Each structure stands twice: as C-alpha cells, then as structure tokens.
C-alpha cells in the first residue's frame, strides 16, 4: 500500500474544468500481489499460467505479478467480445452514453488513486499524471459519451453508420491509461466491443480501469483486457475473430501489423513514432518559447510520440536562446515521480534507458556538443536520464533523424522561413510540429506547408478529445479523437 500527500496540489489551468476534487488529503492505493486477465466481465487466471513482474522504474522494486496471455486466452477474450457485440451493438445509443458518462465520473472519483498508480508503474511525475493524464482520460469518456446518439453526424453524408465489430487495441507504455481511453471510449460509443492489450511494463492502470467497468456494470465482455508482451499483441491483432485493429506504438511494429492485416477485411489505424520539429523565429516571445521548448521535450521524460525533439532556431537568436534554455533546464528537478515538486521522473524501463544512452553516445561520437542538467545526484536505484540537449548537430546525424523517445533535444538552425520548412519536413515522420512567432501571417503560411498531423502555434503538447490526432508519412494511418477519430470505428 502506498500513500501520498496531495494537500498542496496545484492545478494546470488547461485541464482544470475536468478536475474533480474529492475531499481526502491523502490517498491510499492498493496493489494486489497478482493480477489475472479481465475477460467476460471477470478477472480470471491465464490458461498458460505464465506470469511476469511489473516494476516501479524509480525503485526497480516489483509492484505486482501480471498474467501473460497465450493463444487460448486470446481466443477466449475475442469470443467474449464477439458474444457481447450482439447485445452492445443493439443497445440504444442513449443507453450506451449512460455507461460512458458513468465511467467518466467514476474515473474522476478515483482520479488520485489512478494518478498515483500511473506514476508508480510508469515513472512519470505525479504532477503530470494528476493534472494532465487522468483529467484527459475522464474528458475522453465524457466527450465520446456525448457522441453516442449523434453518430449520424460523424461522417459527412453517411446517415446510417454502423459499428464494425470486435476491436483489437494495442497500446504503449508512455501514457498507459490515456491511450486506453483514446482507444476504448470511441470504440464503445460507436457500438463496438474491445479486446485491449496494455504494454508489458504498464498494465496496472488498465486493470484498474477494468474494476471501474465492473463498478459501472458495463455489460460482460464489452471490454476485455489481456495482459502480456509483444507476442500477446501479435496473437491479438492476427486473430481471425477481430474486425478492427487500433495500434499505438513504434513504427517498426506498426509496419509488421500493417503487413499482417494486408489482404484481410480488418480495418486498421496506426499511431506511430515521430521526430517532430519545433521552429522558433527571431520575432517570437523568447521566454514563452523557451517554456514551450521545455514542455515539448522534457514533459513525460520525452516519452512522447509527438515530442518536439528537433529544435530549429533562427540563426540570429541561437546563442541567446540556448543560453536561456540551459539556464531553465538546470532548474528542472529530476527524481521521485511521487514527489509533487518533481519535473522529470524515471525512464520507463532499463531497456529504454539503454536505448537512450546509446543515442547520447552516438551524439557525442558524431561531433555534437552535449549539455546536461542537474549537478545533484540521481537516486541510486531506478532508471534515470538527465534532461539533455545537443548543439552543433548535423541534419544528417542519427540524433537528428531517429526517434530517441527520451529527454534528449537536438538543436539546429535556419536562416530563412523556406529553409525552416524544408528542414522541418525532411524526416520520414510527420506527427506534429511547433511554430513560434509573433506574426499571424507567418503562422498560417508555415503551418499550411508543414507535413505534420498536429501543428501547435506558440504552444506545444496540448491535447483535447475534440481535436483529431495522428500522423503523416511513417507516423501512422488515420486519426484518433474528434469526429475524424469516430470514422475509424464506423462502417
């Protein structure tokens, strides 16, 4: 059992309307020593009886033992979702909405517990799980509850949209509960049923969400949760009883899924990797842009698909901007995710830390200059990486082209808007982009020529359930969120 004091919490104004403030000043979180799968509305043992530990990446201590689903478990989960589809797809839309509203409210009521669990299992700072992740999770269910009885307006000109059937949903570890909400809420709103596989390192909040479904008396089998590693994900997406695959994760696995679904009748959406540009013009409000760059790359330890990991500075402001960025970076507090003053938490896994460290080495080997924050010691156990930026980065360098998925920024320069656009678009990815300037006309001109699914102007990393999210090029297929996201769950 863990206990955390929230008594003097601050609230991010962006999401404050979704905040629910239950009375107690401390929250206790129960974590069972073992978890089963959630199939047919019940927690059951896996047929293969294999298990793995989920650890707290800030301490390396095991939090719980999780079931690994095998082929028979996937068969059972898909069969349960198929059976439930008969009833759920015929449930009156207004009744479906009631379940989604109920789930959203219960998420708000259990928000503190969910935030703590998310930070313990995944390593993200409690301030972020509490003020960003969990409020957005509730918002996603509220938003989609409102759509249930308005689906005839979801796809222009298509007045009789129908659900697709059973949705196989596979999600990553960077926003575990938020990604579950992004997947489950629209699927259910449209009358589909779900089998969801969370990432191996962060299964706990998805399982807690299953408890919430039970509390809200969601009909059995409408959502099933199968835990396991990549092989479990592969078995799920390749299952013949699945009608739709929704995947969020790496481009590498996304390509494998696209290949395995080719030639089948499965509908597929893919939310994949990114190496997003953040462009700062000399006429931008510099202090505001520095803050934006900080949140673009160091939010959630840089484990963000749309992170602004390539910073393009107009040449004339490079030195001054880098000086201010370094000053700001050195103030970031790296450490215990459960401390409400922490800015940068733990790296999600030892494997991910190794990958990030190998990129740091590449950066140095390729001749870039590395600057890292914080003289203070990092905890002895756990997985930690100091916020880092590289200057003197060649556009062809590995650290400028490949997704690091850690707190590492590559700083480059440009002379003209034309050069900024060309360099920003010169990437196999196209998930997001940031533009910082005082001139509205420049914003529209640059944004219209950017090959990116999401473009932020004078801000970065802001999310809303009503706004579609997704990528160009190797960043994926389709959109999630908003009206566009619903289309992916309707025939």
Binding site for Mg ion (CB under 5 A): 54, 121, 201
| Residues 329 and 336 sit within 8 Å (Cβ to Cβ) | no
Select from 158-166, 232-240, 380-388, 483-491 the region that touches ligand NAP (CB under 6 A). Answer: 232-240
Residue with tokens 């509730």: 138
What's the token pair of residue 88?
């759920």
Q: Which is nearer to ligand NAP, 322 or 356 (CB)?
A: 356
CB 436 within 8 A of CB 278: yes
Beta bridge partners of 67: 51
Nearer to ligand NAP, 386 or 479 (CB): 479
Chain mean position to CA 115: 14
Verify binding: residue 233, ligand NAP, rule CB under 6 A: yes
102 interface partner picked from Mg ion, ligand NAP, none, CB below 5 to 8 A per type: none
Question: Looking at beta carbons only, is 201 or 232 nearer to Mg ion?
Answer: 201
Q: How far apart are CA 257 and CA 238, in angstroms?
A: 8
Rounded to a whole number, what is the distance in angstroms from the first to the last CA of the chain?
Answer: 45
Binding-site member from 36, 274, 363, 434 for ligand NAP (CB under 6 A) = 274
Contacts of 177 by beta carbon, 8 Å cutoff, 6+ apart: 114, 118, 133, 134, 137, 205, 206, 209
Instruction: Please pick, among 271, 403, 474, 480, the residue that the annotation labels catalytic.
Output: 271
Among 191, 337, 476, 478, binds ligand NAP (CB under 6 A): 476
Three-point CA angle 294, 297, 299, nearest 5°: 80
Contacts to ligand NAP from residues 19-38, by CB under 6 A: none
Contact assessment for residue 423 and residue 280, using Cβ atoms and an 8 Å cutoff: no
Size of the site for ligand NAP (CB under 6 A): 29
Catalytic residue among 167, 190, 261, 305: 305
Choosing among Mg ion, ligand NAP, none, which partner's interface includes residue 70 (Cβ < 5 to 8 Å by kind)? none
Report in angstroms how near the CB of residue 308 gets to ligand NAP at its nearest: 13
- Shortest Å distance, C-beta 105 to ligand NAP: 26
Least distance from Mg ion to the Cβ atom of residue 297, Å: 23
Question: Which entry of Mg ion, ligand NAP, none binds 172, CB below 5 to 8 A by partner kind?
Answer: ligand NAP
Give the one entry of ligand NAP, Mg ion, none that residue 197 binds, where binding means its C-beta sits below a cut-off of 5 to 8 angstroms depending on kind: ligand NAP
- Specify the residue, 199 or 212, whose C-beta has the smaller distance to ligand NAP: 199
Q: Which does 121 bind (CB under 5 to 8 A by kind): Mg ion, ligand NAP, none?
A: Mg ion
Closer CB to ligand NAP, 229 or 282, in the complex: 229
Interaction with ligand NAP in 416-435: which residues (CB under 6 A)? Answer: 431
- Residues of this chain, 178-207, that bind ligand NAP according to CB under 6 A: 197, 199-200
CB of 158 to ligand NAP, least distance (A): 25
Segment near ligand NAP (CB under 6 A); pick from 36-44, 186-194, 245-253, 367-375: 245-253
Q: Is 305 annotated in the active site? A: yes
Task: Select the binding partner of residue 80 from ligand NAP, Mg ion, none (C-beta < 5 to 8 A, by kind).
Answer: none
Active site residue 457: no
Taking CB under 6 A as the criterion, the residue among 242, 253, 400, 454 binding ligand NAP is: 253
Q: Which is nearer to ligand NAP, 191 or 485 (CB)?
A: 485
Q: Which is nearer to Mg ion, 121 or 480 (CB)?
A: 121
387 near ligand NAP, rule: CB under 6 A: no
**Does residue 414 bind ligand NAP (CB under 6 A)?**
no
Nearest distance in Å: CB 170, ligand NAP? 5
Q: Which two structure tokens, joined as six digits, stand for 284?
A: 């931008």
| Contacting positions for ligand NAP (CB under 6 A) | 170-174, 197, 199-200, 229-230, 233-234, 237, 248-250, 253, 256-257, 271-274, 305, 403, 405, 431, 471, 476
Which sequence positions are flagged as catalytic?
Answer: 271, 305
């Amino acid at each position: 059992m863990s206990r955390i004091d929230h008594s003097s919490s601050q609230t991010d104004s962006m999401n404050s309307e979704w905040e629910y403030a239950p009375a107690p000043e401390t929250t206790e979180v129960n974590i069972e020593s073992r978890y089963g799968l959630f199939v047919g509305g019940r927690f059951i043992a896996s047929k293969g009886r294999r298990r793995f530990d989920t650890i707290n990446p800030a301490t390396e201590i095991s939090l719980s033992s999780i079931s690994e689903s095998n082929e028979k478990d996937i068969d059972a989960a898909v069969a349960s979702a198929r059976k439930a589809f008969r009833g759920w797809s015929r449930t009156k839309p207004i009744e479906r909405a009631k379940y989604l509203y109920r789930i959203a409210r219960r998420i708000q009521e259990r928000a503190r517990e969910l935030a703590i669990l998310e930070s313990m299992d995944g390593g993200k700072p409690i301030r972020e799980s509490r003020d960003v992740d969990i409020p957005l999770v509730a918002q996603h269910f509220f938003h989609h509850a409102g759509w249930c009885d308005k689906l005839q307006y979801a796809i222009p000109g298509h007045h009789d949209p129908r659900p697709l059937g059973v949705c196989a949903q596979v999600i990553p570890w960077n926003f575990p509960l938020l990604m579950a909400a992004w997947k489950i809420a629209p699927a259910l709103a449209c009358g589909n049923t779900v089998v969801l596989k969370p990432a191996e390192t962060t299964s706990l909040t998805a399982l807690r969400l299953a408890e919430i479904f039970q509390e809200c008396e969601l009909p059995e089998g409408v959502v099933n949760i199968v835990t396991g590693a990549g092989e479990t994900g592969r078995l799920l997406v390749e299952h013949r009883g699945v009608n739709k695959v929704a995947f969020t994760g790496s481009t590498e696995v996304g390509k494998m899924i696209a290949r395995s679904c080719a030639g089948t009748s499965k509908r597929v959406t893919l939310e994949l990797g990114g190496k997003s540009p953040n462009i700062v013009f000399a006429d931008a409000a510099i202090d505001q842009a520095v803050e934006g760059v900080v949140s673009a790359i160091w939010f959630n330890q840089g484990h963000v698909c749309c992170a602004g990991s390539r910073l393009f500075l107009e040449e004339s402001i490079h030195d001054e901007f880098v000086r201010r960025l370094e000053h700001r970076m050195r103030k970031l507090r790296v450490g215990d995710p459960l401390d409400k003053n922490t800015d940068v938490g733990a790296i999600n896994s030892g494997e991910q830390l190794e990958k990030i460290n190998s990129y740091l080495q590449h950066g140095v080997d390729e001749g870039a200059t590395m600057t890292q924050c914080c003289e203070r010691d990092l905890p002895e156990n756990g997985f930690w990486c100091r916020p880092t930026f590289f200057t003197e980065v060649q556009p062809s360098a590995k650290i400028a082209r490949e997704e690091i998925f850690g707190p590492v920024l590559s700083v480059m320069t440009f002379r003209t808007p034309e050069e900024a656009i060309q360099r920003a678009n010169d990437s196999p990815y196209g998930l997001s982009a940031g533009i910082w300037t005082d001139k509205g006309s420049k914003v529209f001109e640059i944004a219209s020529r950017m090959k990116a699914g999401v473009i932020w102007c004078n801000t970065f990393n802001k999310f809303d359930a009503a706004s579609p999210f997704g990528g160009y090029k190797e960043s994926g297929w389709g959109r999630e969120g908003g009206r566009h996201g619903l289309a992916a769950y309707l025939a």
